[in-house]
Structure 1
Amino acid sequence: MRHADRVPHPVRQRILITGASSGLGEGMARRFAAKGRDLALAARRADRLEALRDELLAAHPGIRVVVSALDVDDAAAVEDVVPKLAGELGGIDRFIVNAGIGKGASIGTGKAWANRATLVTNVLGAHAQCEAATELFRAQGHGHLVVISSVASLRGMRGTRTAYGAGKAALNALAEGIRSDLLGTGIRVTTVLPGYIATDINVGRRGPFTVDLDTGVAALTAAIEREPVRAYVPEWPWRPVAALLRVLPLPVVRRLT
C-alpha cells in the first residue's frame, strides 16, 4: 500500500450510493448503515429502495436514510436528483458511482442493442453521476468521489464481457482525469476495481477466485474507507492478478477470463 493511502481521512458521514437496490450497492448500504453513516440511496426500483430504507432505519434508528428513484441513463434526472438528495441530508461527503448493468454479447452476433445498453449506462450514466457529484463537491470544497470499475477493464475481454470491460476502461480514464483536475483540493477520487463477486449482474460471468457477496462487500467498503487512488477488491488475489493481466499474451488472458 502506498504511503498516501495511509494518511488519515475524515469520517465521511453522509454517503450517496447509486444502484443501491441490489447487489454491491445494497450491500454497501447495509455496511455503511452499520457504521452509523447517513445515506442517500438511488436506483431505478423505488419499491426496493423504500424497503431497504425501512430495514436500515429499523436496525439503526440513529441514522438518516433518504431515497429517490433514479435512472442514471437520464442525465437530466441525475442533475435534478443528486442536489435534491444532498439537500435532504445537508450535503454529501462521499458519492459512490455504482449503478451499472452487465448485458452483453460477442460483437457482431446480432445483439448490438445489449452492448449499446451496457455502454450507455456504464459510461454515460457514470459520467452524469460524476458531473453531478463533482459539481456538488466543488461547491462544498470537499468530498470523496468513488468510481466502481472492474478488473475486466484491464484488458480487452471476449464474449459477453467485451462491451462491459470497454465501458469500465473508460471509467478508469474518466476517474483519473477528474482526479488530475482536482489535485491539491479537498476532493479525493478513488477508482475501485472489483474482481469476481457473486452478484446478479455477473451471472454467467463468474470466473476463478469468485467470492460471495458478503465477502466482496466487506472488502469493498474497507477499501473505500481507506480512500486510496486505486483499489483491487478483494486485494488478494486481484492485485497480483491485475499485474499479470497487463503483461500476459492475449491467448493466455482469453483462457483465464
Structure 2
Amino acid sequence: MRKNVLITGASSGLGAGMARILAAKGHHLALTARRVDRLEALRDELLAAHPGIEVVVHELDVNDHDQVFAVFKQAITDLGGLDRVIVNAGLGKGGRIGTGKFHANKETAETNFIAALAQCEAAMEHFYERKAGHLVVISSMSAMRGMPSSMTTYAATKAGIAMIAEGIRSDLIGRKGLDIKVTTLYPGYIASEMNEGVQQETRMMVDTETGCRALVKKIEAEVVDAAVPGWPWAPIGQVMKHAPLGVVRRLV
C-alpha cells in the first residue's frame, strides 16, 4: 500500500475530494494549496473522522518553484517519506488567442505546465532516492486535441504535462530495482470550482464525490493512463483523437 500521499491543490475540488476518500482508506496525507485556511479546515475534518491517520498541511503557491521543493522536502520529513504524489494543482483561466488575454493564458501555462514540471521533478527526486513511489498527474480530456476559445491554452498545458509523465515513464523502462509507477489521468466533466462555468445540467457531468471515487480507483490500480469516469469519456476520447476538428469543437 502506498501509505503516505501528497496532494497539491488540495483546498477544494478534486484535490479535497480525493483527500477525503484516501483518508477514509487509512492513508496519511500531506495537503498543499495557497488557501491554508481551507487546508486547515479540511485537516481538522479528516482527523475528526479518521483519528488513526496523520494529516499535515502546507501553504504552497506552485508557481514559487523554490517553495515547491522546500514544501515537498518538509512533507517528506513530516511523514517519514512519500509513497505517492498527486500533481493536481491547476488553473483554468484563459481567452481565445489574439483577443488580448495573453496574461491570463500565460498564468495558466505557468501554473499548469511549468509548476507541474517542478512538482514532478521534486517527486521523482524523492522516488529515485527511495527506489519506490507513484507519481500521478492529473491531465484533462481536453488534452486529446487542440481546443477552441478560452480552452486553447488550458488544453495545451494538459497535453504537455501528459507528455512529461509519459517521458518519465519511458525513463523507467528496463530500470531494475525500482518500484516506481507513473499514472496519467484524464478527467472529463467532474463538478468542481474550476469548471463551475460548464452547464451543470449536462448529462456528462458527474458530482465531485463520484468523480473523485473514480479517480482514486484508477490511482490505486496504478494504471498507466485512463479517462475518468470511464463512461462516457473513454469512447469520447477516441472520437476526439480521430474526428475532424469541426466535430471535436462541438464536443466541449
Q: Same fold (TM over 0.5)?
A: yes
CA shift for structure 1 position 231: 1.1
Q: Does residue 188 in structure 1 map to residue 181 in structure 2? A: yes
Alignment gaps of 5+ in structure 1:
1-10
Equivalent residue, structure 1, for 2:196: 203
Equivalent residue, structure 1, for 2:94: 104
CA shift for structure 1 position 208: 5.4
Following superposition, which runs of at least 4 residues in structure 1 exceed 3 angstroms of deviation? 205-208
Equivalent of residue 212 in structure 2, options 217, 220, 224: 217
Letter in 2 for 1:119: A
Letter in 2 for 1:192: L
For the aligned residue pairs, the C-alpha RMSD in angstroms reads 1.0
- Residue 200 of structure 1: SS of its match in structure 2? coil
CA shift for structure 1 position 204: 2.0
Q: Does residue 43 in structure 1 map to residue 33 in structure 2? A: yes
Q: Does residue 81 in structure 1 map to residue 66 in structure 2? A: no
Alpha-carbon contact 1:149-1:192 (below 8 Å) kept: yes
Q: Partners in 2 of 1:205 and 1:164 — Cα distance?
A: 15
Equivalent residue, structure 1, for 2:55: 65
Letter in 2 for 1:209: M
Alpha-carbon contact 1:71-1:78 (below 8 Å) kept: yes
- Residue 45 of structure 2: SS of its match in structure 1? helix
Q: Does residue 25 in structure 1 map to residue 3 in structure 2? A: no
Letter in 1 for 2:195: N
Q: Partners in 1 of 2:138 and 2:164 — Cα distance?
A: 12
CA shift for structure 1 position 203: 2.1
Equivalent residue, structure 2, for 1:146: 136
Aligned length: 247
Alpha-carbon contact 1:43-1:49 (below 8 Å) kept: yes
Q: Partners in 1 of 2:158 and 2:27 — Cα distance?
A: 28
Letter in 2 for 1:113: H
CA shift for structure 1 position 177: 0.4
Equivalent of residue 245 in structure 1, options 226, 230, 240: 240
Q: Deviations over 1:179-208 (max 9, x none)?
A: 111223311000000001111101224565
CA shift for structure 1 position 173: 0.7
Alpha-carbon contact 1:190-1:227 (below 8 Å) kept: yes
Q: Partners in 1 of 2:211 and 2:131 — Cα distance?
A: 31
Alpha-carbon contact 1:196-1:208 (below 8 Å) kept: no
Alpha-carbon contact 1:105-1:111 (below 8 Å) kept: yes
CA shift for structure 1 position 115: 0.6
CA shift for structure 1 position 256: 1.4
Q: Partners in 1 of 2:228 and 2:65 — Cα distance?
A: 29
Equivalent of residue 235 in structure 1, options 225, 230, 236: 230
Alignment gaps of 5+ in structure 2:
none
Alpha-carbon contact 1:27-1:217 (below 8 Å) kept: yes
Q: Within 5 Å, which residues of 2 pair with 1:121-200?
A: 121-183=111-173, 184=175, 185-200=178-193
| TM-score (normalised: structure 2) | 0.96
196-205 or 90-99: bigger deviation: 196-205
Letter in 1 for 2:18: M
| TM-score (normalised: structure 1) | 0.94
